[in-house]
Amino acid sequence: MELLDLYIAMLRDPSVPTNRVVRKTAIVAIGTVGLLVYYRHVVLQFRFGEPALVTAGLSVLLVVIVGIFGGVLAGGFYDAFLKDVGAQKRESTVAVFFVEWLFAATAPLLGSILFGFVSHYSG
pLDDT of residue 106: 87
Element containing residue 111 per DSSP (H, E): helix 107-121
pLDDT in tens, 68-86: 888 888 888 898 888 888 7
Whole-model pTM: value is: 0.79
Q: By the 8 A CB rule, do 107 and 22 touch?
A: no
pLDDT in tens, 14-27: 888 888 899 999 99
Residue type, 93: T
Residue type, 4: L
**Residue 36 CB coordination number (10 Å):** 15
pLDDT of residue 91: 66
Domain residue spans of the chain: 2-121
The whole-angstrom separation of Cα 25 and Cα 74 is 8
Q: Where are the alpha helices (DSSP H) in 39-106?
A: 50-62, 70-85, 94-105
Q: What is the dihedral angle through the alpha carbons of 92, 93, 98, 99, rounded to the nearest 10 degrees?
A: -60
